Amino acid sequence: MKSSYKSKYDPGRLSPLSFCLILITGTSGVAISTHAHAASSVSGSNAKVAHARTGANTARHSGNAAPVSRPATRTAGQNAAKHLKAGSETVSVSGVRNAFHFSAAQRSPDSDTHITADRLRQQGVVSVLDLQNLAPNVTIQRENGGATVNFYIRGIGMADLTQNNTQSVMTYVDDVVYPMASMMSGQMFDVAGVDIKAGPVGTEHGQADTGGEINIRTNDPTSTWHAGITEDIASYARSKTDFYISGPIAHNLSFRIAGQTLQGGGWQYNPTNGAHLGDANEGALRAKLKWTPDEKTEVKLTGHWVQDNSELVNGTSAVNSLATRPVNVVSLGGTASPAGSYVLPYGQTEWSMNPAFAKIVGRSASMKPSEHNTLWGANLYFGRDLGFAKLETQSAYIAERRGEYTDADASAWNTGDAYRNVNANSFSQEVKLHSLNINDRFQWTVGMHYNRYQSYQQMWFDFSQYTPTRGYLSETAFHDNQQTFAQYAHLSYRLPHNITIFGGINHEADDRQLNNLTTTHYAGPYTCAGKGLCQAVTDVEAFTPSGSASNQFSGVLGIQYQITPHLQTYFKVSKGFKPGGFTANNTVVQAQLEPMKPETVLAYEAGFKADPIPNVMRLNAAAFYYDYHDQQILTSFVVPSYGPLGRFTNVPKSEIWGIEFTLELHPFKHIFITENFGYERGVYQDFQSVNSAAVNKYYAATGIWQPIYTSYSNTDSGIPKMTTNGTADYRFNPVRSHELEIGVDWQYRDTQALIPGGFGNYGYHLPAYFLLGAHMTFRPVNRRWSVTVYGTNLANRQYYVSGGAATVSEFWIPGTPRFIGGRFGVDF
């Protein structure tokens, strides 16, 4: 006989009644198995197999001071079951209900952040942008408010609009590399969990980089039938629908189909005409097949499709240096700032679409800032137990077709409107062989990874009212071809006294070319007729192809000490490497295409992971120092008689250092608290560059564009110094077999400079902000359905989440105002 009786409130502890049942049945010769149930009224979520697998894999590759198959904690109930024997009778415990997830990962020498699917739902995560609210020292921002997303971990990241360069933080979905961040659009649905790794990577899988990686893990097919649907409705007519169905097709063959739609939610408007802006219009599907022909083989085929026709959140101009295009601040109710600057009231923005510009790009003149993107792809996974090791291969093809209109100058004038057309695809192949038994002292992984990426991009700009300097329409087009081939190995060995040494190496060869780059100017007056161009071409300039090749090693070396079963500490030194690349945005002179050099970082990290009071308190902390060489950064490049342009360059020497910790508390049987805290500082130690603020100020005064250089040596690099976020939940059973969860969440993000030396210059840095949210969920303990009400930004704070520059404007992208919503979900 087996009992599934659940202790109501104390995770990892047996209730008095459960203990009595063990005593009674144990003496009568009956074995009991107490299970960790998905419907636990305490933990609020089940410790999923995928999560445990992730922690075990991490421990296997990085080195573990003791076998991770042994439970990290032994509760009173386990000890009772262990010692309770009567003759041939045995009492066994087959599972433990834990207050905290990822127990195996507690024995891995790293500072990774692991996020459960329940936490993602609780926090209302809709896109990858929301992940910055669930981890320390992480910043994720849209470039110009569009689909290109920039990831920063511990201050390492890159503002790369055209994505001609390797990401500083590599992104993956189910271990498939997504080399272009915009390809991640629409992937945050039917997610099993997310892993965020800080620091140089590339010795265990995938590609090398300097900043870290983000891996989204999606749900696999199930061998039994399951289905579910969730509807989420919130302020500003926002609606989000998620659904899935999963089950067997035939013996050893199962499937899963999942999808999501996102509609509405726009909260901006144009004060000049009252037009509404920001509604989402997105649909996504993912299908998986899983085949297990025998117990040693697994094959998974996955396909996905995303259609995104969403309107964008547009910026508001913080600095406008073009005196010939004034803005009536008083009539619009904006906030006056230094000469030539203004900030519109929150919720307002300006844009315009020139009919001639619309004709050239082939879109309607009534179009708002928006996306028109189609993304699709497929990947095939093969895994085989060879007895002495496991062989894994991953083959993937990903493609995107993008059409993106942004009012890049964030004004009603046609001084920098932009339209992008991107046709890109990526093919990747990985082969990996690794040890199987995680209890062995010696663990090893070897593998190879190949990625080929190519794109054709067209970028149109409307400068027709940017006079007297330009006054025309412009198009820059180019082909971008990249390929990367890497080989890697990672080893670890557990010495006596619970000490483990580990190390890894990566060799990567990268080659990329920028070909067929031309810039075309179309002069006015623009009399459009038919389907052709509005005006004859004024001039076409072809530029010399540019190339960049890199061939370097990176790696890691470290030591771990498992002091007690509940406390481990580690120290590691790693070298990160990222290839060089190009700038290809609105090219007017050959000097813009000069490739930047590769960047490297020598990273030192020390940390510990502790469960000082198992199932009551967990504290993981790390300190780091990055010695940064040739940091890749986007700066201004001033062309006399033309104006400032963006160009990537290298900072010869810089440094980043900081600390971070994650604290989880379950001090009382109903209360669960999580707090992430990060503090980091970055300093340019040797760097001289164009002073954008001084250049704009000089132009506003004289009407002349002139480069002004400033030394930024020993200057703060402008990364947000402090980030903190967390949740506090109260869970109890108001009625039998039903659970009520009431909680609050918070986030704080410090000031961020948008350009070197941006602190102290109005409009060139983002202000700090603090946000508060709340949620309440009622559900049965079996999780068959749930009802949730929630609120975000409850204080209705006015804040800005990213910023940038285009021609005459330095702009800010505002964050969302208060949203109140409700969610209802059913699972079968």
How many angstroms separate the CA atoms of 27 and 89, rounded? 7
117 occurs within a structural domain: no
Residues 453 and 589 in one domain: yes
Residue with tokens 């590609």: 207
Contacts of 675 (CB under 8 A, 6+ apart): 662, 663, 724, 725, 726
3-class state of residue 707 by DSSP = coil
State the pLDDT at residue 536. 57
State the pLDDT at residue 316. 86
State the pLDDT at residue 99. 79
Q: What is the mean pLDDT of the chain?
A: 85
Q: How far is CA 623 from CA 198, 611, 681, in A?
A: 12, 19, 12
Please give the radius of gyration of the chain, using alpha carbons only, rounded to the nearest integer: 28
State the pLDDT at residue 325. 55
3-class state of residue 633 by DSSP = strand
Give the confidence band of 759 by pLDDT, cuts at 50, 70, 90.
confident
Give the confidence band of 317 by pLDDT, cuts at 50, 70, 90.
confident
State the pLDDT at residue 84. 36
State the pLDDT at residue 342. 58
Pick from 702, 478, 688: nearest CA to 592: 478
Return phi, psi of residue 6, to 5°. Answer: -115, 130
**For residue 782, how many other CB atoms are within 10 A of its CB?**
12
Q: Do residues 19 and 80 make contact, with C-beta atoms less than 8 angstroms apart? A: yes
Least confident range from 27-31, 439-443, 723-727: namely 27-31
Question: Do you find a cis peptide bond into 525, omega within 30 degrees of 0?
Answer: yes
State the pLDDT at residue 78. 38
Give the confidence band of 476 by pLDDT, cuts at 50, 70, 90.
very high
How many angstroms separate the CA atoms of 188 and 65, rounded? 34
State the pLDDT at residue 77. 37
How many angstroms separate the CA atoms of 514 and 590, rounded? 12
Residue 731 or 637, more confident: 731
State the pLDDT at residue 641. 77
Q: How far is CA 566 from CA 113, 533, 569, 614, 656, in A?
A: 18, 70, 10, 8, 30
335 occurs within a structural domain: yes
Pick from 449, 448, 450, 447: nearest CA to 389: 447
How many angstroms separate the CA atoms of 14 and 2, rounded? 15
Q: Do residues 728 and 666 make contact, with C-beta atoms less than 8 angstroms apart? A: no
Q: Do residues 6 and 33 make contact, with C-beta atoms less than 8 angstroms apart? A: no
Residue with tokens 């007297």: 468
Task: Kindly state the DSSP code that residue 102 receives in the 8-state scheme.
Answer: -
State the pLDDT at residue 73. 37
pLDDT exceeds 80 at position 65 = no
pLDDT exceeds 90 at position 425 = yes
Query: Angle at CA 772, nearest 5°, toward 770 and 775?
Result: 160
The proportion of the chain whose per-residue pLDDT surpasses 90, expressed as a percent, equals: 63
Instruction: Specify the pairing of strand 442-462 against strand 417-434.
Output: antiparallel
State the pLDDT at residue 161. 81
Residue 265 or 23, more confident: 265
Give the confidence band of 493 by pLDDT, cuts at 50, 70, 90.
very high
State the pLDDT at residue 95. 45
Give the confidence band of 324 by pLDDT, cuts at 50, 70, 90.
low
3-class state of residue 55 by DSSP = helix
pLDDT in tens, 66-102: 333 333 333 333 333 333 333 334 444 444 457 799 9
State the pLDDT at residue 68. 35
State the pLDDT at residue 704. 85
pLDDT in tens, 205-244: 999 999 999 999 999 999 999 999 999 999 999 999 999 9
Residue 700 or 101, more confident: 101
Least confident range from 57-71, 277-291, 397-411, 798-812: namely 57-71
How many angstroms separate the CA atoms of 652 and 689, rounded? 11
**For residue 62, how many other CB atoms are within 10 A of its CB?**
27
Residues 482 and 549 in one domain: yes
Residue 443 or 43, more confident: 443
Give the confidence band of 132 by pLDDT, cuts at 50, 70, 90.
very high
Average pLDDT (269-274) is 87
Looking at residue 727, its amino acid is T
Residues 70 and 138 in one domain: no
Looking at residue 462, its amino acid is D
Residues 154 and 84 in one domain: no
96 occurs within a structural domain: yes
How many angstroms separate the CA atoms of 806 and 808, rounded? 6
**For residue 507, how many other CB atoms are within 10 A of its CB?**
17
pLDDT in tens, 721-743: 999 999 999 999 999 899 999 99
pLDDT exceeds 90 at position 373 = yes
Q: Do residues 246 and 230 make contact, with C-beta atoms less than 8 angstroms apart? A: no
**For residue 392, how many other CB atoms are within 10 A of its CB?**
19
Residues 342 and 447 in one domain: yes
Residues 96 and 230 in one domain: no
Q: How many helices (H) and strands (E) does the chain have?
A: 7, 45
3-class state of residue 342 by DSSP = strand
How many angstroms separate the CA atoms of 56 and 435, rounded? 12
State the pLDDT at residue 318. 82
Residues 80 and 209 in one domain: no
Q: Which two tokens stand for residue 211?
A: 């900043």
pTM of the predicted protein model: 0.86
Least confident range from 68-72, 542-546, 628-632: namely 68-72
Average pLDDT (471-494) is 94
State the pLDDT at residue 97. 53
State the pLDDT at residue 323. 55
Return phi, psi of residue 79, to 5°. Answer: -60, -40
10 occurs within a structural domain: no
Instruction: Specify the pairing of strand 169-173 against strand 212-218.
Output: parallel
Output the 3-class SS for 602-621.
EEEEEEEEEEEECCCEEEEE
Q: How far is CA 102 from CA 32, 46, 122, 165, 499, in A?
A: 25, 11, 18, 34, 21
5 occurs within a structural domain: no
Residues 823 and 697 in one domain: yes
Residues 171 and 82 in one domain: no
Give the confidence band of 329 by pLDDT, cuts at 50, 70, 90.
very low
Average pLDDT (320-326) is 61
Q: Which two tokens stand for residue 37?
A: 């149930």
State the pLDDT at residue 639. 84
Residue with tokens 């510990």: 608
Q: Which two tokens stand for residue 469?
A: 């300097």
How many angstroms separate the CA atoms of 805 and 811, rounded? 6
What is the CATH classification number for the domain harbouring 815?
2.40.170.20
438 occurs within a structural domain: yes
Average pLDDT (263-278) is 92
Q: Do residues 444 and 491 make contact, with C-beta atoms less than 8 angstroms apart? A: yes
How many angstroms separate the CA atoms of 591 and 588, rounded? 9
Counted domains in the chain: 2
Instruction: Specify the pairing of strand 280-294 against strand 785-792.
Output: unpaired
Residue 61 or 602, more confident: 602
Strands (E) in 134-225, as ranges, are 138-142, 149-153, 169-173, 176-178, 191-198, 212-218
Question: How is the chain split among helix, strand and coil, in percent rounded to 5?
Answer: 10, 50, 40
461 occurs within a structural domain: yes
State the residue range of the domain holding 95.
16-49+57-101
Pick from 259, 309, 257: nearest CA to 282: 309
How many angstroms separate the CA atoms of 743 and 737, rounded? 20
Residue 97 or 566, more confident: 566
How many angstroms separate the CA atoms of 548 and 596, rounded? 8
State the pLDDT at residue 584. 83
Residues 388 and 259 in one domain: yes
402 occurs within a structural domain: yes
Residue with tokens 């802006």: 277
Least confident range from 281-295, 352-366, 631-645: namely 631-645
State the pLDDT at residue 24. 34
Q: Do residues 371 and 312 make contact, with C-beta atoms less than 8 angstroms apart? A: yes
Give the confidence band of 258 by pLDDT, cuts at 50, 70, 90.
very high
Residues 575 and 716 in one domain: yes
How many angstroms separate the CA atoms of 309 and 402, rounded? 10
Give the confidence band of 344 by pLDDT, cuts at 50, 70, 90.
confident
Pick from 818, 9, 826, 814: nearest CA to 348: 814
Q: Do residues 506 and 204 make contact, with C-beta atoms less than 8 angstroms apart? A: no
pLDDT exceeds 60 at position 158 = yes
Task: Kindly state the DSSP code that residue 183 receives in the 8-state scheme.
Answer: G
Least confident range from 248-252, 329-333, 445-449: namely 329-333
Residues 132 and 97 in one domain: no
